[in-house]
Amino acid sequence: MRLQKRGQTLCPRSVPSFCTHASLKFMPVRIFLFLVAALSLSAQGLSNRRAPSFSLPDSTLRQHDILDYRGTWLLVDFTETTPAKCKELSVKLEAVKKKYGVKVNILSIVLAPPETQASVAKLVAETKMTTPVLFDSSQVAIAYFKATPQNPQFDSPHLFAINPNGMIVKDWTQPSTTGPGFLAEIDQLITGSPAKK
């Protein structure tokens, strides 16, 4: 296929309608829409996949293997021990645990270092949490957040909902966990019914 110059663009001779002036006006719009769609898909890039497997110790050195929680809902909270926003989410998750009992398990994961057994003990005492707090040297966080050398960060708290089949079906960043619809979304996932208004 030979190209010929038409105005400022090179166009294939067999596709002249593509290169008309009117269609070129809409090219930036098409590119913009493509980028918006790509960004919206990448925003959900942490959900809709199999949950990465792990086995991590808690502060009593008891190992918690994710496979032991198959068959129930599992909420995995990547957190820190000092920020108020992390403590607030821990309290909300305790209420979820109390409401659903054995139907839902919750694991909190902290990075060690900087977190220590002492900082976790202080968090547990302040929030009265019964949820196991696991220590990760960053390998699990890397897998869950798809971290790369170009993108090494993650936000906390960050909550992952893993269904009984081991699939991450939803994840929430810190701003999402403070909204009024957050607990209703968890209820909807666990019960399979629409959220109440």
Q: Where are the domains of the chain?
A: 3-43, 49-191
Query: What's the pTM value of the predicted model, to 2 decimals?
Result: 0.74
- Domain 49-191: CATH superfamily is Glutaredoxin (3.40.30.10)
Backbone angles phi, psi at 93, to 5 degrees: -70, -35
> Which pLDDT tens digit goes with each residue over 115-159?
999 999 999 999 899 999 999 999 999 999 998 888 887 888 999
